[in-house]
């Protein structure tokens, strides 16, 4: 049986977003009045776990704020409310950003994994609301409509929609495919510890195909020319608003020259390196990231180490 890759596992928990109900005021009022409805309270873009779990409350216990209709699954409708950080209970340090939950995801916490699509949806919208308060056309105040999925200017009437930035992430290899000589190109960001490496990534620019974005980013960061590029998969990444588009690619050369800005070190690694069978001593992404899926797909088995 083929093992499901880490980033794919999250899609099994996808919810019905009720996109056609976002302007149905009677239906929304009915669902909000139902005691079975669950609400995720956000302080700006942060949430407050309780007893190690994501904490949902009933509508009657939700504070005032911007309401977001998330959708439903298994007969339960869910919303989120973006509240003023100064008006929520608890100490400031009790409210965590989404990234603070990643260690549990990396450890394979099944309970939290089931919550991820809800969290990505809610926090992705909250990040968008937080960063888009004024109309880019006239500077007027933006007002939330469509249950948080549209912002409309109170002055000129122009609508704004949730922004998602396409970013490519790629497993670049060199050598005879499947052979012991084949290597994968991994890089290290300047802010990471010396042993931490991951697949290369970067944002797509205006007027650029995704395949060309792969080739440009790899060339800019490592000096490696890439020929064949193939689509692998994708993953939403609301930190704050990216859609990670995974690719594989074949390098035309193996001489590395890092840019020293985004990537301070890059190396070719073997499958034995990723299995921990050599003294390479690297730490690579684990858990639910598409980066780990790209590497596991190339390796043909689960990764040994994760961060």
Q: What is the pLDDT of residues 113-123, one digit of tens each?
A: 788 889 999 99
**Residue 58 pLDDT class (50, 70, 90 cuts):** very high
Domain borders along the chain are 6-131, 165-299
pLDDT tens figures, 208-236: 999 999 999 999 999 999 999 999 999 98
Q: What is the pLDDT of residue 193?
A: 87
Which pTM was predicted?
A: 0.88
pLDDT at residue 248 above 50? yes
pLDDT tens figures, 125-179: 999 999 999 999 999 999 999 999 999 999 999 999 998 999 999 999 999 999 9
Q: Where are the beta strands (DSSP E) in the chain?
A: 38-43, 46-47, 56-57, 66-73, 76-83, 142-145, 150-153, 159-160, 165-174, 183-189, 200-203, 226-237, 242-251, 263-269
pLDDT tens figures, 4-18: 676 776 666 789 999
CATH superfamily of 165-299: Nucleoside Triphosphate Pyrophosphohydrolase (3.90.79.10)
Q: What is the pLDDT of residue 9?
A: 63
Angstrom distance (rounded) from CA 76 to CA 142: 30
Q: What is the pLDDT of residue 307?
A: 39
Asked whether the beta carbons of 295 and 273 are under 8 A apart, the reply is no
- Least-confidence region, from 17-31, 134-148, 288-302: 288-302
- Tokens standing for 16? 């019905």
Please give the share of the chain, as a percent, with pLDDT higher than 70: 93
Q: What is the pLDDT of residue 259?
A: 87
To the nearest whole number, what is the mean pLDDT of the chain? 91
Q: What is the pLDDT of residue 98?
A: 84
**Residue 110 pLDDT class (50, 70, 90 cuts):** low
CA angle 77, 82, 88 (to 5 degrees): 110
């Amino acid at each position: 049986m083929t093992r499901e890759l880490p980033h794919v596992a999250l899609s099994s928990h996808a919810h019905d977003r009720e996109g056609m109900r976002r302007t149905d005021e009677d239906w929304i009022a009915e669902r909000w009045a139902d005691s079975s409805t669950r609400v995720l309270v956000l302080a700006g873009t942060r949430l407050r776990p309780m007893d190690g779990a994501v904490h949902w409350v009933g509508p009657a216990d939700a504070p005032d704020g911007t309401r977001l209709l998330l959708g439903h699954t298994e007969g339960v409708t869910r919303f989120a409310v973006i509240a003023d950080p100064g008006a929520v209970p608890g100490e400031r340090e009790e409210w965590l950003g989404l990234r603070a939950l990643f260690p549990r995801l990396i450890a394979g916490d099944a309970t939290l994994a089931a919550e991820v699509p809800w969290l990505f949806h809610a926090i992705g919208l909250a990040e968008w609301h937080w960063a888009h308060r004024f109309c880019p056309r006239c500077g007027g105040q933006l007002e939330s409509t469509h249950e948080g999925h549209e912002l409309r200017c109170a002055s000129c009437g122009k609508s704004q929609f949730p922004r998602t930035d396409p970013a490519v992430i790629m497993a670049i290899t060199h050598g005879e495919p499947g052979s012991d000589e084949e290597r994968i190109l991994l890089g290290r960001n300047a802010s990471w510890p010396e042993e931490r490496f991951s697949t290369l990534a970067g944002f797509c620019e205006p007027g650029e195909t995704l395949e060309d974005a792969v080739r440009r980013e790899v060339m800019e960061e490592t000096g490696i020319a890439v020929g064949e590029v193939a689509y692998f998969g994708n993953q939403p990444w609301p930190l704050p608003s990216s859609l990670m588009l995974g690719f594989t690619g074949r390098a035309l050369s193996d001489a590395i020259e890092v840019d020293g800005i985004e990537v301070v070190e890059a190396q070719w690694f073997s499958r034995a390196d990723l299995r921990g069978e050599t003294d390479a001593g690297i730490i690579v992404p684990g858990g639910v990231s598409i980066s780990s899926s790209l590497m596991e797909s190339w390796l043909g088995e689960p990764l040994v180490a994760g961060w």
